[in-house]
Amino acid sequence: MSPAPRIVVGVSGGVDSSVAALLLRDAGWDVTGLFMQNWADDGTGECRAEDDRRDAVAVCGALGLPIRFRDFSKEYWDGVFRHFLDEYAAGRTPNPDVLCNREIKFKHFLDAARELGAEAIATGHYARVDAHGDTFRLLRAVDRGKDQSYFLHQLGQAQLAATRFPLGDLHKSEIRRIAAEHGLRTAGKKDSTGICFIGERDFRSFLAQYLPAKEGDMRTPDGTRIGTHPGVFYFTLGQREGLAIGGVRGRPQAPWFVVAKDVARNILYVDQGHDSPWLQSRTLRSEAAHWIAGSPPAARFSCTAQTRYRQPDEPCEVEVRDDGTLAVRFERPQRAVTPGQSVVLYDGDLCLGGAVIATTDAPVPETNPA
């Protein structure tokens, strides 16, 4: 009788990875858990890594699985966090989860699993992989409310060939039910939210440790100064919170939103109205795209896209330019399409790939200070 195939599961101490390990064990795999430390303790006491580590150990113990540990904090700093800081300093809004998946979870983690003799890796991501002929495809999860293919769009053929997503066909409610039925301590554990290395602390306070505050003008799109801000890189397009704008003479009592940033002059532009025309764009240009199949479906094609996580599908036309960048035109105007974030392309449930957003055709506020 041949030995069971070996797989290493990334156990994070959460309910999703716990059930992923359980399902693979029950499917006959030789399962080893691996806990990744991706962020070094910065002395603030905000990091939950130790609590998560204890939960991961307890779950593997309850399932009768061995567990290993790897410290990828240096790789995370070099491959993810430096880019995160550089992007914010440039006035863009990066998505570290996309880079973390590409650089850590499906690169260094995959390498570590192979060193342990594994044939494959698995995680608790909500997504699916299948083989279509000789091509591996990334598909949305059955639970569309939890689908994480947006964050996985930078994966390639070699990574998908070696990856299993055991939760892709299940709903979150089923995951918690399975965990509870097997007495796993993570069954009722709250899902982690936000950026992993920031935790529960205030985002602006965290970022200020690395990008010191520089106060500047807060202006309306026509150049009228209505206040000050602590630093343009603390804000993102469409943001409402943290502006601290009181009553403004001649303006209605309505919420204000960030509509543009002038990093060179340290000016933050704001306007009233969730759907301000200054936030609307119909086209975008991207950096060089990544294609999961290795190449685009055509030089020009129609598909749907998301410019943020959990956004409804938006029909669009895509042109792949000679330098590999994309020109994307949407059927209807889009709100707060943000440079630094990702545009991810879909054909139904099939994730085609995506790219970092470089520019949009949203209107640009005045350039001469009032």
> What tens digit of pLDDT does each residue of 13-60 get?
999 999 999 999 999 999 999 999 988 765 555 557 788 999 999 999
Kindly state the tokens that stand for 49: 């890594």
pLDDT for res 194:
63
The answer to whether the 6-181 and 278-360 domains have the same CATH topology is no
pLDDT for res 43:
55
Q: Is 89 exposed, middle or buried (0-12, 13-18, 19+ CB in 10 A)?
A: middle
Judge: domain 6-181, CATH 3.40.50.620: yes
The domain ranges of the chain are 6-181, 213-274, 278-360
pLDDT for res 195:
65
pLDDT for res 2:
65
pLDDT for res 191:
84
Which 3 state secondary structure label does DSSP give 229? strand
213-274: CATH number: 2.30.30.280
State yes or no: is 47 an active-site residue: no
Catalytic one of 196, 303, 316, 351: 196
Catalytic one of 100, 303, 316, 351: 100
**Strands of 67-71's sheet, edge to edge?**
67-71, 30-37, 6-10, 120-122, 163-164
Contact 327, 283 (CB under 8 A): yes
Contact 333, 282 (CB under 8 A): yes
pLDDT for res 368:
55
Taking 70 as the pLDDT cut, the residues of the chain under it are 1-2, 41-47, 193-201, 367-370
The CATH class, in words, for 278-360 is mainly beta
pLDDT for res 250:
73
pLDDT for res 245:
85
pLDDT for res 340:
96
Q: Which amino acid is at 33?
A: G
pLDDT for res 196:
63
Kindly state the tokens that stand for 23: 């399902």
- Listed in order, strand segments (DSSP E) in the chain are 6-10, 30-37, 67-71, 120-122, 127-132, 135-140, 163-164, 216-219, 225-229, 256-262, 267-272, 280-286, 290-291, 300-306, 314-320, 326-335, 342-347, 350-360
- C-alpha–C-alpha distance, residues 197 and 49, integer Å: 10
State yes or no: is 303 an active-site residue: no
Sign of the CA dihedral with 150 first, then 152, 153, and 154 last: positive
> What tens digit of pLDDT does each residue of 301-321 get?
999 999 999 899 999 999 999
pLDDT for res 249:
75
Q: Which amino acid is at 140?
A: R
